[in-house]
Each structure stands twice: as C-alpha cells, then as structure tokens.
Structure 1
Amino acid sequence: MEVFSFERQIKHYNSYQKILLVGEGDFSFAVCLARAFGLAVNMFATSLDSRESLMLNYSKAMSKVMELEARGCKVLLEVDVHSMSQHPFLISERFDCIIYNFPHVGYLHGPFSAECNGFQNRFHQDLIRGFLQNASQLLTAIGEIHVTHKTTFPFSEQKIVELAQEVGLYLVHEEHFLLLDYPAYENKRGAWICDQPFPVGMCITFKFAKLPSYTTSGFNLGITAPGPWSAYSGIIGPHMQW
C-alpha cells in the first residue's frame, strides 16, 4: 500500500481511509473521490453490473473505470451486496468506510411503478438490510457504513435507521447531502433509463457503526449526533421516483 505524504480530503472522506463503494452505477462517485485524493490505492469500487451491461447502460462508465484503475482503485464487477462479504476479493479485506448512495432495487412493474407500493418498499428494505448485514462484516472495528438516501415520502418508509438497528448497527450521525459537495458525481437512475439523472431533493447521509463489543443491555447506544431527520419516517412529501 502506498503511503501518502499528506492527507487529501473531500467532505467525509480522506485519502488515508480504506474505502469500499458499492452499487456504483457509472462509477462517477468513485471518480469524484479518486480525483480529490489524486490516487485511489485505498479504494475498492464495485457494481452489480457485468462489463457488458455497464457498456450498454452507461455511456461513460468504461472511461470512468479506466480512470479509476489508472489511479490505483480496484474495480470489481458483478458484486452483489447480499453476498459481498464472501466475495473472493473482499472476504479478507476490512474497510474504514463503506458507501452506498441511493440504494434502489429496480422496479417491479416497469419504469412507471409507484415507489409507494408496499411490495416495492419491501424489496427496497430487503436490499438495504442485506447490504447492511454484509457491510458490517467488512468493517474495521471503528469503521462506518454510509448510506445516502432521500428522506421524503415514500422513501422515508424504508426506515433505514431501524433496519440498521436490526443488524446490530447504531446511528453515529446524519448529515444533509448536497450534490455540489461532490464535483464530477452524476447521480443515475440505475433502472430502465439507467443513464439519466433523477431529482435528488432532500437527502441525508446516514452514518452507522457497529456496536462495541463491551456494550451491555444496560448501556444505551443511540443517535450520538441527531440530525433533522431522526424521525423522518413521519414526513410526507411529494411523490418521486428514481
């Protein structure tokens, strides 16, 4: 591993951290971090897509993959978040930060499916729960899992904080997410019209960590730095789709 002469940082992330990015779409978020760091030798960037589907779905994905690899990032394709902790190139790795931006399982009934559909919501929850279970196995002892998501209805019904608690994680902090903080990041739909952006709206980056091994039933670890959306599940906003 290369030793950097000085730390380079963008928002929550720095060049000294070992970072895993999942569900990367066209890999533009990974490129954003890599450019900020100069080199990306401490980064792994993954996608569920195969090489063929990347080329089909995203017009700029392969050029981004080439840039990432040139900067030292390890790019892995066909990585399923439900089983990534057992992936042969990840199973022995441990990360300081694992990032999943705008998790979305796709649409049950085509691109005009309603996000507020109960079945659709449960599929989203299964995706997030599976990711959190696997990500928790790949963290360092003091590592964090970052999930960025919309906080308006119906996305609020996914109850990400509660899902994290189910798998033994607690909310460390939550912070507003702004696209302007990440130059070169182009959010993509990831389903049907994959290469198109979607309206981000109000979003939060939820930061989770594992419960310390010394935690007992009498020691309550909850939100250490509450944000404005701690109780966001009751907020109702305009209907939006990816």
Structure 2
Amino acid sequence: MATPIVVALQALSLEGKKDERVVKWLKHYSSEQSILIVGDGDLSFSRSLATAFGSGENLVATSLDSYANLISMYGKAESNVTKLKRMGATVLHGVDVKNMKSHIDLKFKRFDRIVFNFPHAGFIGKENQVSMITAHQLLVKRFFRNASHLLHPDGEIHVSHKTGQPYDRWEIEELASEFSLVMFKTVEFRREDYPGYNQKRGDGDRCDEEFPLHNGCTFKFCLEH
C-alpha cells in the first residue's frame, strides 16, 4: 500500500502534467505567442491558425468591416467568426490599421506577432499607376506607425506582399524604417502552409473572389534596438 507521502507526490506529478501545455506551431506562429491579425478578409487566416493550435486563446482577429458588412461580403465569414469565438479567440470588427493603436480593445495590449497579409488600399486604379502605389504606401506606412506602438519589444511584424513589378515600388522596407522597424528576414509565402486560408479581394462587387498569390513573400520586421 502506498504511503501518504507517495500518494501526495503522485498527485503533484499528475497535477503538473495537467498544467503542461504542448506548444503547437503553424509555419512562423505558435500557440504560445500573442498574435494580432489585421486585414484578414473573411478571417480565414485567423481560423487557420486557431485550428492548427487547437485554441484561439492568444489570437486577436480583426476586420475593417462591421460584423453586418463582413457576413454580407464574404460567404464563409459568419462560420469563421463563430468558430474563432468558440475556440476562445477575440474577434474585433471595425478595426482600421491606420489608427488601431487608439482602439479601446488594443491600446493597452502588446503583441508578440502582428500580421498583415497582402495589404491593399482598394481598387481605385491600375496597380502600376503612381496614384495607386502612393495609396498603398500610405496605407502600409500608417499601419507600421500604429503596429510599432502595439508590438512587444522583442516581437515581430509580418507583412506578406507580392514581389516583382509594380509591387516592389511600394518600398515597404523603407516605409518601415521611418518607425524604427528593421526588416531582418524574407520568406516565401505559400497558401498551402495555412489550410483553409482563402485570400480575398476585399473590395467592390468581387470582394469575395480570390486573387492570385504568385511570388508572395512574408517580410519580417522587428524594432531597432
């Protein structure tokens, strides 16, 4: 028969095992990281991460649109929001990356990862027009300004973006440097790495359609120390 001391030690061992959490990874992201995702269209990227982690506890998924507009624009948005909330994720609507550092639910938080996949200022002209490039640059610049305030000192900002012309003319590395952000790594972006992710146009009558992801890369930035 086990002595009371042995029984107590066994109980402590079992309790310790219950408290242990297995860290799960999906590409660059882990279930331990606090992650802010912005500009996620139908929130399918956020759902992909939560599904891989088995939890959305450390995820904050945001959309620019109100909830009513979101579910009217994207066929799978309602189910994605429901799934994310069921998994414990925080889902925020009406979050504009250009002023999100002042958002009531974000301004006192700091994140290990801030993710903006394929930022786009809207279809107001052809992609190679100077006015379009300027609009894209302004969006990304304001995003960097706000994200730098919400980033943990040792955190990373990830911007996924097409490469080649005219996309290289956005000069996102230079835009980031204005806010003491340094690009330290570039890796290929492959949609198949994120099961269930569907990139959306997000604007106009074709907002729920996908767009091609040829030559996409994830640019990683950190604060300059």
Q: Report 1:159-174 matches (<5 A).
A: 159-174=171-186
Q: 1:77 — aligned with what? A: 93
Q: What is the TM-score when the length of structure 2 is the normalising length?
A: 0.90
Aligned length: 206
Tell me the secondary structure at the aligned position of residue 126 of structure 1.
Answer: helix
Tell me the secondary structure at the aligned position of residue 133 of structure 2.
Answer: helix
Moved more, 52-61 or 64-73: 52-61
Q: Runs ≥4 in structure 1, deviation > 2 angstroms?
A: none
Q: Which amino acid aligns with 1:83?
A: N
- Displacement after TM superposition at 1:4 (Å): 6.0
Tell me the secondary structure at the aligned position of residue 104 of structure 1.
Answer: coil
CA–CA distance in structure 2, aligned partners of residues 152 and 56 of structure 1 = 33
Tell me the secondary structure at the aligned position of residue 204 of structure 1.
Answer: strand
Q: Report 1:121-132 matches (<5 A).
A: 121-132=133-144
Q: Is the 8 A contact 1:4 1:16 kept in 2?
A: no
CA–CA distance in structure 2, aligned partners of residues 162 and 83 of structure 1 = 20
Pick the aligned partner of 2:219 from 206, 217, 220. 206
Q: Does 1:6 align with 2:22?
A: yes
Which structure has more helix as a fraction of its residues? 2
Greater C-alpha radius of gyration = 2
Q: What is the TM-score when the length of structure 1 is the normalising length?
A: 0.84
Q: Which amino acid aligns with 1:206?
A: F
Pick the aligned partner of 1:19 from 26, 31, 35. 35
Structure 2, unmatched stretches of 5+, are 1-18
- Displacement after TM superposition at 1:156 (Å): 1.1
Q: 1:189 — aligned with what? A: 201
CA–CA distance in structure 2, aligned partners of residues 47 and 14 of structure 1 = 21
CA–CA distance in structure 1, aligned partners of residues 28 and 69 of structure 2 = 31
Q: Report 1:87-166 matches (<5 A).
A: 87-108=103-124, 113-166=125-178
Identity %: 44
CA–CA distance in structure 2, aligned partners of residues 66 and 103 of structure 1 = 24
Q: Which amino acid aligns with 2:140?
A: I
Structure 1, unmatched stretches of 5+, are 213-242
Q: 1:57 — aligned with what? A: 73
The superposition leaves residues 165-210 of structure 1 with CA deviations (integer Å, 9 ceiling, x where unpaired) of 1111001111011111111001111111111000110011000001
- Displacement after TM superposition at 1:55 (Å): 1.6
Alignment RMSD: 0.9
